[in-house]
Amino acid sequence: MKGTERIMLGHGSGGLLMHELLEDEIVAALGRGSIQPDDAAVLPLDGGEVVFTTDSFVVDPIFFPGGDIGSLSVCGTVNDLAVMGAKPLYLSVALILEEGLPIEDLRRVLRSMRRTADEAGVRIVTGDTKVVPHGSADKLFVTTTGIGLRLKGLAPSSSRIRPGDALIASGSLGEHGLAVMLRREGVEFGAEIVSDVASVFPIVESLKPFGDAIHAIRDPTRGGIASTLNEFASASGCTIEIDEQAIPLRDDVRGACEIFGFDPLHVASEGKLVLAVAPGNATEVLCTLRSVPLGSNASIIGTVTDRRTPRVILRTAVGGRRILEMLAGEQLPRIC
Partner 1 sequence: MKFVDEYRDAGLVRRLAEETSRLAGRRELTFMEVCGTHTMSIFRNGIRVLLPATLRLLSGPGCPICVTPNRYLDQAIALSRLPGITITTFGDMMRVPGSTSSLERERAVGRDIRVVYSPLDALELARRNPSREIVFLGVGFETTSPGVAAAVQLAGSRHLSNISFLVAHKVIPPAMRALIEGGVAIDGFLCPGHVSVITGSKPYEFLARDYGHPCVVAGFEAADVLEAILMLVRQAIAGEAAVEIQYRRAVTQEGNKEAQRLLNSTFDTVDSEWRGIGSIPESGLSLRAELKGLDAAEKFEVEVEPTLEPKGCRCGEVLQGRITPNTCPLFETACTPENPVGSCMVSSEGTCAAWYRYARMPGDCL
Ramachandran bin of 255, using left for φ above 0, alpha for ψ from -120 to 50, beta for the remaining angles: alpha
Minimum CB separation of residue 302 from partner 1 in Å reads: 15
Task: Please tell me whether residue 3 binds partner 1 under the rule CB under 8 A.
Answer: yes
Query: 12, 20, 237, 297: which one contacts partner 1 (CB under 8 A)?
Result: 20
Q: Which is nearer to partner 1, 261 or 280 (CB)?
A: 261
User: Sign (positive/negative) of CA torsion 208, 209, 215, 216?
Assistant: negative
CA angle 212, 171, 68 (to 5 degrees): 110
Q: Which is nearer to partner 1, 114 or 321 (CB)?
A: 321
Contact by Cβ (8 Å): 315, 241: yes
| Site pattern 96..135 for partner 1 (x: CB under 8 A) | ----------------------------------------
Q: How far is the CB of 314 from partner 1 (least distance, A)?
A: 8
Tell the smallest beta-carbon distance from residue 264 to partner 1 (Å): 12
Q: Note whether 332 binds partner 1 by CB under 8 A.
A: yes
Characterize 310-336 residue by residue with b for buried, 16 or more Cβ atoms within 10 angstroms of its Cβ, and e for exposed: ebbbbbeeeeeeeebbbbeeebeeeee
Nearest distance from C-beta of residue 299 to partner 1, angstroms: 18
Q: List residues bridging with 61 in a β-sheet.
A: none
Handedness of CA 207, 77, 84, 21 (dihedral sign): positive
Nearer to partner 1, 103 or 335 (CB): 335
Q: Indicate whether 328 belongs to the interface with partner 1 (CB under 8 A).
A: yes
Which alpha helices (H) appear in 96-135, and where do they start and end? Answer: 103-120
Cα separation, 141 vs 318, in Å, equals 43
What is the C-alpha to C-alpha distance for residues 265 and 325, in angstroms, rounded to an integer?
Answer: 10
Among 6, 31, 190, 191, binds partner 1 (CB under 8 A): 6
Contacts (CB under 8 A) with partner 1, residues 232-291: 251, 254-255, 258, 261
- Interacting residues with partner 1 between 166 and 195 (CB under 8 A): 185
Which amino acid appears at position 160 of this protein? R
- In the bound state with partner 1, the residue whose beta carbon lies nearer, of 103 and 318, is 318
Binding region for partner 1 (CB under 8 A): 2-4, 6-10, 16-17, 20, 185, 251, 254-255, 258, 261, 313-323, 325, 328-330, 332-336
